[in-house]
Each structure stands twice: as structure tokens, then as C-alpha cells.
Amino acid sequence: MTRDDLLNILSAEQCIADINLSGSSLSGLDLSGRLFERVALQGADLSGSSLIGSQFRECDFSGALLNGADCTNASFNSCRLADTLFVGATLYNTTLVQCETGRLDFSQANLERFTAIATPLLGALFNGTNLTSAIFTATALDKVKFPGCRLTLAVFEQASLQEADFSATDLTKCRFTGANLSGAKFTGAKGSSAGFIDVRAEKADFSGADLQMANFSGATLNGAAFGRACLEKSLFVGASLQKAILIGTKLAYADFSRAIVTGADFSEADLSVANLHRANFSDARLAGAKIRGVRQTDRELAEGETWVSPLKIQQETT
């Protein structure tokens, strides 16, 4: 099929289904607002094309080129995206839902407000990618690196990010709620108000990070490294930091209420005015730590937190 034949088909139809366009040259075309269903696009060249608002359902983009393409408001549902290139592409407000992927390249692309749901992105490249307000839900991103990426307001909810690398990235108001961050690297990361609620981050490395007012409530941080990090005014309520390394960490005004920090090393750390209400510091090392104004367990509050109604006790025993 010649390029002219393709142009005639694509220009005449709003819904394009069950057609083989593998290896086709579609670069620079305006394909905005189209519905593509079960279209084969393996190895097709869509570089610089306009796909604004287009919908792709069960299409195969294996090895396709979408470098510099404009995919604003486009959606990819149950598509195959193995080894697809999106270098420098615009995927503003684009969605990927339950797609099958391989090694995707999003280098220098704009993924602001991008959403990936139940779509594995193992091996994906995000070099210098704009991920502002991007959302990754139940997405596998293990060992993925984010060098030079903008991650402000990004959300990684219930995502798998084991051994992922966020070194030196800006995590301002970024959220990792319920994510698996075991062995992940955040060395030198910065940004205030990042959320790590209920994450699993054993042996994660936050050394030298500047993450003031971060929220680690309910997080599992056993063996994690926070050496020389700045975590002032951060929350560790109910978190587990067993054998964590917090040597020289700035933790002024941090809240460790009901946290478990047994065997943790706070040597030379600044815990000034920190809240240690009902925290378990058994075998924790505090050599040289600053503890001016530290708030210990509030007895009356503790009694209120552990109080059980006699009526409830009676109901449970009858």
C-alpha cells in the first residue's frame, strides 16, 4: 500500500479498525481525534505526527517510532508497546491502561499529567523527562532510573519501585503511598512535603537527601540509610525504623510518635524538639545526638490512646 493510499484511508475514516499498517511511514501526519482498534503498527514511523485526542485500543506499536509526536489527551488501552520510542514526544494528559510493554524510551518527553494504570514499565528510560503531576498506579518500575526528571506532584500509588533510582531528583509534594521502595535510592534528592505513607522501603538509601516535612507515617524503613539527610519537621508516626542509619541526620521537630526504632543509629543526629511519644528506642544509639526539648511520652495521651471501653470488654467476653 502506497503512502497516498494510506493517506486516503486515514483522512476518510474516523474509526480505523483491523488494518495492518506495520512498517508504514506516517511521520508528520495529523491523525488527531481518531479511534484505532486492533491496528497493527509494528515498526511504523509516526515521528512528529499529531495524535491529539486519539484513542488506541488493542493496537500493536512494537518497535514503532513516535519521537516528537504529539499525543496530548491520547489514550492507549490494552495496547502492545514493546520497544516503542517516545523520545521528545508530548504525552500531556495521556493514559496507558493495562498495556503490554517492553523497553520504552521517554527521554526528554513531556509526561505532565500522564497516567499509567496496571501497566508495567520495566526497563523504561526517563532521562530528563517531565513527570510533573504524572500518576503511576499499580505500575511496575523496578530498577528504573529517573535522572534529571521533574517529579513535582507526581504520584506512585501502590507502585513497585524496588531498587529504583531517584538520586538528585526534585520530589516536592511527590507521593509514594503504599509503594514498594525496597532498596531504592534517593541520595541527594530534594523537595519538601513528599509523601511516603505506608511504603515498604527496607534498605532504601536517603543519604544526603533534603526532604523537609516528608511524611513517612506507617512506613517500613528497616535498615534504611538516612545519613546526613535533612528531614526536619518530618512525620514518622507509627513507622518502623529498626536498625536504620540516621547518623548526623537533621530531625528537628520530627514526629516519631509510636514509631519502632529499635537498634537504629542516631549518632550525632539533631533530634531537637522531636516528638518521641510512645516511641520504642530500645538499643538505639544516641551518642552525640542533640536532644534539646525532646518530648517524651505524654502519659495522659497514652492512657487515652490505650483506653478501652468497659462495654466493649464485656461484649468481647460474653
- pLDDT, position 290: 96
Residue 70 in contact with residue 53, Cβ under 8 Å? no
CATH of the domain at 85: 2.160.20.80
Q: Determine the average pLDDT of the residues in 281-294.
A: 94
Measured from the Cβ of residue 15, the count of other Cβ atoms closer than 10 Å reads: 9
Residue 63 in contact with residue 43, Cβ under 8 Å? yes
Strands 95-97, 100-101: pairing kind:
unpaired
Binning pLDDT at 50, 70 and 90, where does residue 296 land? Answer: confident
Q: 193: closest CA among 133, 234, 249, 225? A: 234
- From residue 4, alpha-carbon distances to 1, 17, 24, 25 in Å are 8, 19, 11, 11
The model's pTM:
0.89
In a domain? residue 257:
no
Measured from the Cβ of residue 226, the count of other Cβ atoms closer than 10 Å reads: 31
Q: Determine the average pLDDT of the residues in 157-162.
A: 96
State the chain's mean pLDDT as an integer: 93
- From residue 103, alpha-carbon distances to 47, 116, 164, 189, 262 in Å are 18, 15, 15, 25, 41
In a domain? residue 214:
no
Binning pLDDT at 50, 70 and 90, where does residue 300 land? Answer: low
Residue range 137-155, pLDDT digits in tens: 999 999 999 999 999 999 9
Q: Determine the average pLDDT of the residues in 309-316.
A: 65
Q: Determine the average pLDDT of the residues in 277-287.
A: 94
In a domain? residue 118:
no
Number of domains forming the structure of the chain: 1
Q: 255: closest CA among 268, 245, 241? A: 241
Residue 176 scores a pLDDT above 70: yes
Which of the residue ranges 31-40, 271-280, 292-301, 304-313 would you say has the lowest mean pLDDT? 304-313
Which of the residue ranges 66-70, 295-299, 311-315 would you say has the lowest mean pLDDT? 311-315
Residue 304 scores a pLDDT above 70: no
Q: Work out the angle at residue 312's Cα, subtended by the Cα atoms of residues 311 and 317, and round it to the nearest 5 degrees.
A: 100
In a domain? residue 31:
yes
Which tops the pLDDT comparison, 24 or 252?
252
Binning pLDDT at 50, 70 and 90, where does residue 14 land? Answer: confident
In a domain? residue 19:
yes
**At a CB cut-off of 8 Å and minimum separation 6, what does 288 contact?**
267, 268
Percent of the chain predicted with pLDDT > 90: 86
In a domain? residue 61:
yes
Q: Determine the average pLDDT of the residues in 208-213.
A: 97
Half-sphere exposure of 244 (CA within 13 A, CB side): 32
DSSP 21-39: -TT-B-TT-B-TT-EEES-
- pLDDT, position 312: 65
Residue range 56-70, pLDDT digits in tens: 999 999 999 999 999
Residue 246 in contact with residue 221, Cβ under 8 Å? no
Report residue 208 as a C-alpha cell: 544526603
Q: Determine the average pLDDT of the residues in 80-91.
A: 97
- pLDDT, position 298: 66
The neighbouring-strand residues paired with 175 are: 155, 195
- pLDDT, position 309: 66
- pLDDT, position 6: 66
DSSP 252-273: TT-B-TT-B-TT-B-TT-B-TT
Query: Cα(227)–Cα(186) distance, rounded to whole angstroms?
Result: 12
Q: Determine the structural domain holding residue 2 and report its residue range.
A: 1-102
- pLDDT, position 144: 97
Binning pLDDT at 50, 70 and 90, where does residue 295 land? Answer: confident
Binning pLDDT at 50, 70 and 90, where does residue 302 land? Answer: low
Query: Cα(247)–Cα(304) distance, rounded to whole angstroms?
Result: 34
In a domain? residue 176:
no
Residue range 226-249, pLDDT digits in tens: 999 999 999 999 999 999 999 999
Q: Determine the average pLDDT of the residues in 37-66.
A: 97
**Assign residue 66 a region: left if phi > 0, alpha if psi is -120 to 50, beta otherwise?**
alpha
In a domain? residue 16:
yes
The 8-class DSSP code of residue 308 comes to -
Residue 179 scores a pLDDT above 90: yes
